[in-house]
């Protein structure tokens, strides 16, 4: 059974591109356009890993992480930040994310990290 990845990002072209690469790597990919929808999909789909953008409408990535900590019913999963914003790595690592990549991301490095976390 393929591992399930929830990708939360508000850039449709980026989602389409990365989703295709992840699916080619053998993963099932679910998408959400903001943190609010992402939390709902986390509850409904039970992903094995989350790829999260920081700057999004309705609920940004930092708020998403804070809200997720309040929901005891969510399956604990690794979170990778994938964003155009540099300089926030320390904050997110302190919040417990497993890695932080700045866009544009090297696909091979990202896929290697995902595979490592999902072993």
Q: 81 by DSSP, 3-state: which?
A: strand
pLDDT in tens, 43-74: 999 999 999 999 999 999 999 999 998 988 88
Give the 3-state DSSP-derived string for 38-56, with helices as H, strands as E and coil as C.
HHHHHHHHCCCEEEECCCC
In eight-state DSSP terms, residue 78 is -
Percent over 90 (pLDDT), the chain: 67
Q: Flag whether pLDDT at 104 surpasses 80.
A: yes
**Do 8 and 50 touch, CB atoms closer than 8 A?**
yes
CATH value at residue 16: 3.40.50.2300
Residues in the chain: 119
CB 59 within 8 A of CB 35: yes
Q: Is the pLDDT of residue 84 over 90?
A: no
Q: Tokens 């679910």 belong to which residue?
A: 30
Number of domains in the chain: 1
- At 67 the pLDDT is 92
For residues 86 and 45, give the distance between their C-alpha atoms in angstroms, rounded to a whole number. 30
Q: How many CA atoms lie within 13 A of 63 on its CB side?
A: 11
Show the domain range for 73: 4-117
């Amino acid at each position: 059974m393929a591992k399930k990845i929830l990708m939360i990002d508000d850039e449709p072209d980026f989602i389409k591109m990365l989703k295709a690469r992840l699916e080619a790597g053998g993963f099932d990919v679910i998408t959400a356009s903001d943190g609010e929808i992402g939390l709902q999909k986390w509850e409904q789909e039970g992903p094995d890993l989350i790829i999260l953008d920081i700057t999004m409408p309705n609920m940004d990535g930092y708020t998403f992480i804070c809200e997720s900590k309040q929901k005891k019913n969510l399956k604990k999963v690794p979170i990778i930040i994938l964003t155009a914003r540099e300089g926030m790595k320390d904050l997110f690592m302190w919040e417990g994310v497993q890695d932080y990549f700045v866009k544009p991301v090297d696909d091979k490095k990202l896929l290697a990290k995902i595979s490592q976390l999902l072993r």
